Amino acid sequence: MSGVDKDFIIKKSAELLRAGAKMLSSQCPVCGSPLFQLKTGEVVCPVHGKVIIIEKEEEVIQVSLDSALIKLEEKAMNRLASLISQIDELREKPSMNERNLLKTIKEWLEVIYASRKIRLFKESSSGKKE
């Protein structure tokens, strides 16, 4: 369960159990937390929601890519929040520091945009195959 807050997993797991879900012996391929089967039969991860059951080697690559993109977005969002908090610390008159800060913010926004665009493209193209 690397990179995921254990208290968060426990809280979400407890919510799923209270809702009538059944804990399974298998783990999420992305974060390693226990999987749950809802009354509808759907298998979910308390962290990521719906889980793709991997049947082919190609799907392992897809799940790994999704995981990497999600982690990239999380790190980019954290970095972006840190940079945005620095804006208030700058003087009112635009300076070279402010320009550099805004340029860096723009670059992180582009990273997030590109990551989300890739994930949306993957989702829409996988929906066409089904």
Q: What is the mean pLDDT of each run of 10 residues along the chain (130 residues)?
A: 71 92 84 85 82 61 77 92 82 72 93 91 66
Write down the pLDDT at residue 27.
83
The residue ranges of DSSP E strands in the chain, in sequence order, are 22-27, 34-37, 43-45, 49-50
Contact between residue 35 and residue 45 where contact means Cβ atoms under 8 Å apart: yes
Write down the pLDDT at residue 58.
64
Residue 95, both tokens: 């300076």
Q: 2 φ, ψ to 5°?
A: -70, 135
Domain boundaries along the sequence of the chain: 6-50, 57-129
Write down the pLDDT at residue 130.
42
The single-letter code of the amino acid at 2 is S
- Give the count of beta carbons closer than 10 Å to the beta carbon of residue 9: 19
Write down the pLDDT at residue 76.
94
58 to each of 14, 41, 54, how far by Cα in Å? 33, 25, 9
